[in-house]
């Protein structure tokens, strides 16, 4: 009797301590899941991850009074990380897409983007329609992957990093790469002998992924995004990384 009373007392104390820390533990960080293989949106510079998305997320975190923490992972792990709560937000040049909306919510879009086709100079591919019966490289799990996989008669080669697809093109292992326009411009500028088709493959919009049940965070993110847009800060960040043609 006596021992069980003591045990009970200890348990009650432990439980209330747990409850107490549970209540007093205020969230101080905003954890962003990304895939830093996507210049100019997110890429590594030394030890840090920089780029448009990193700066937008930092500005949002500042506005919310939180400290931004960036978790770099495979692109196709980001949605699961957001769903499971491992990350609060997914910011990765992520296109708003019907299929993804089943798993996560998206903020208001923060930019318009496009999928484009990269080919070798002198290639016979002159428009996206010519990809038929060709070998096309994409980054695994991206909208490029989803759209090209839906095409009839196209062999899809999936790479973990967009740049690996570009390398395969340079080595003539594939005939074309379908990837987002701004990273495509960066990769083409770094390598001789490849170019971007004038005709886009698709036009799309990037937004921030938030867990389905997290409406409060979604509202906060949208409020911060709206402020960034109104103050001109959003455009300023974009202009820092993308020079108008
Ligand atoms: N916009 C494309 C998508 O949402 C590609 C994004 C890839 N982003 C990255 N950080 N690797 O699927």
Site of tokens 């996507």? 38
Residue identified by tokens 């499971």 is 84
Q: Are 69 and 32 in contact (CB under 8 A)?
A: yes
∠136-126-93 over CA atoms, to 5°?
Answer: 50
From the CA of 162, give the closest atom in ligand 1: 11
44 CA from centroid of ligand 1 (Å): 16
Query: How large is the greatest C-alpha to C-alpha distance in the chain, in angstroms?
Result: 89
The finding on whether 175 has its CB within 6 A of some atom of ligand 1 is no
Q: What is the DSSP letter of 96?
A: P
CA-to-CA separations, 93 to 9, 78, 124, 181, in angstroms, rounded: 53, 11, 30, 11
Which residues make Cβ contacts (< 8 Å) with residue 122, sequence separation at least 6? none
Q: For atom 12 of ligand 1, which residue has the closest CA?
A: 142
**pLDDT tens, position by position, for the chain (245 residues)?**
444 554 444 444 454 444 444 455 688 999 999 999 999 999 999 999 999 999 999 999 999 999 999 999 999 999 999 999 999 999 999 999 999 999 999 999 999 999 999 999 999 999 999 999 999 999 999 999 999 999 999 999 999 999 999 999 999 999 999 999 999 999 999 999 999 999 999 999 999 999 998 999 999 999 999 999 999 999 999 999 998 76
Question: Is there a contact between 138 and 144 (Cβ–Cβ < 8 Å)?
Answer: yes
Ligand 1 pocket mutation, candidates 54, 139, 241, criterion most atoms within 8 A of CB: 139
Closest CA to 58 of 24, 30, 94: 30
Query: Does any ligand 1 atom lie closer than 6 A to the CB of residue 157?
Result: no
Query: How many whole angstroms from 159 Cα to the centroid of ligand 1?
Result: 13
Alpha helices in 25-117 (DSSP H): 52-64, 78-84, 98-101
Strands 89-90 and 202-206: unpaired
79/94 Cα distance (integer angstroms) = 10
Is residue 147 within 6 Å of ligand 1 at its C-beta?
A: no
Pairing of strands 111-120, 176-180: antiparallel
Ligand 1 atom with the shortest distance to the CA of 142:
12
Contact 41, 92 (CB under 8 A): yes
Asked if residue 53 has its Cβ within 6 Å of ligand 1, the reply is no
With a 6 A CB cut-off, is 145 part of the ligand 1 pocket?
Answer: no
Domains of the chain (ranges, CATH numbers): 27-110+207-241 (3.40.190.10), 114-203 (3.40.190.10)
Q: How far is the CA of 234 from the centre of ligand 1 (A)?
A: 19
């Amino acid at each position: 009797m006596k021992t069980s009373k003591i045990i009970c007392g200890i348990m009650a104390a432990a439980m209330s301590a747990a409850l107490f820390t549970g209540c007093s533990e205020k969230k101080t960080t905003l954890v962003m899941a990304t895939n830093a293989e996507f210049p100019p949106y997110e890429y590594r510079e030394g030890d840090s991850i920089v780029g448009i998305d990193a700066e937008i997320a930092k500005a949002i975190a500042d506005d919310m009074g939180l400290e931004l923490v960036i978790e770099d992972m495979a692109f196709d792990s980001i949605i699961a990380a957001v769903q499971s709560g491992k990350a609060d937000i997914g910011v990765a040049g992520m296109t708003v897409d019907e299929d993804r909306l089943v798993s996560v919510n998206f903020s208001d879009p923060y930019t318009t983007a496009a999928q484009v086709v990269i080919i070798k100079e002198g290639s016979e591919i002159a428009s996206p329609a010519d990809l038929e019966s060709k070998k096309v490289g994409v980054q695994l799990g991206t909208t490029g992957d989803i759209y090209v996989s839906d095409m009839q008669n196209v062999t899809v080669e999936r790479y973990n990093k967009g740049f690996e697809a570009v390398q395969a093109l340079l080595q003539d292992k594939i005939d074309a790469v379908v990837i987002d326009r701004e990273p495509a411009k960066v990769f083409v500028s770094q390598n001789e002998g490849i170019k971007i088709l004038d005709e886009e493959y698709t036009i799309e919009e990037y937004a921030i992924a938030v867990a389905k049940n997290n409406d409060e965070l979604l509202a906060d993110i949208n409020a911060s995004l709206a402020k960034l847009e109104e103050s001109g800060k959003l455009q300023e960040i974009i202009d820092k990384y993308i020079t108008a043609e």
